[in-house]
Structure 1
């Protein structure tokens, strides 16, 4: 920063770039302000429960814990096991489409 006795400091070009918001941050702010983010999160929870995704992920975790032994399983192990299956589900793709569509209207 540069400054003098008579005026406040002027930000350098690098500092200005750090303060600029990314597109992701701008979209997130708009979704929060409009209340759309909470609505989409609630819709996601409902859809995941309706289609049995949550129960399926619980079952995968339980089966893995039984196989490895309860005391030999960490949260990281469980995340590693269920992430590929959890992300591959169709419901996630539908909700991503809805999320993108709502971003277009922001």
Structure 2
């Protein structure tokens, strides 16, 4: 450690311990490396389109844009308004299917 009269000691770069990745980070890395994450994302897209969720979200966005005025709405505004509604309205069957696929992946990967 280097010290000075005017400031507290500054740790040297070599002295900083390396942070261990969390289990969540390890799982995410394994899913990306195996291509499973992309497969799950595609499955999610398909299921949300099939159940009409996507059309429902599109309609909510259009209604919000009409209410506020097309020129007064930003993408960030839409995200702030629609995200909570979108997350809450994902069908339980879609959530259950994705959860099952993730569990199967984890069992196969022996994590």
TM-score range, shorter chain: 0.7 to 0.9
Q: How many residues align?
A: 95
In structure 2, list runs of 5 or more residues that go unmatched.
2-12
- Superposition TM-score, scaled by structure 1 size: 0.75
The structural deviation recorded for 1:79 is 1.0
In structure 1, list runs of 5 or more residues that go unmatched.
2-9
Root-mean-square deviation (Å): 2.3
1-structure distance, mates of 2:36, 2:60: 31
Q: Which runs of 4+ in 1 moved over 6 A?
A: none
The structural deviation recorded for 1:103 is 4.7
- Superposition TM-score, scaled by structure 2 size: 0.72
1-structure distance, mates of 2:99, 2:43: 13
Q: Which moved more, 1:26-35 or 1:62-71?
A: 26-35
CA contact (8 A) 2:44 2:98 kept: no
Instruction: Pick closer, same or farther for the CA change 1:43–1:16 going to 2, 3 Å.
Output: same
CA contact (8 A) 1:27 1:103 kept: no
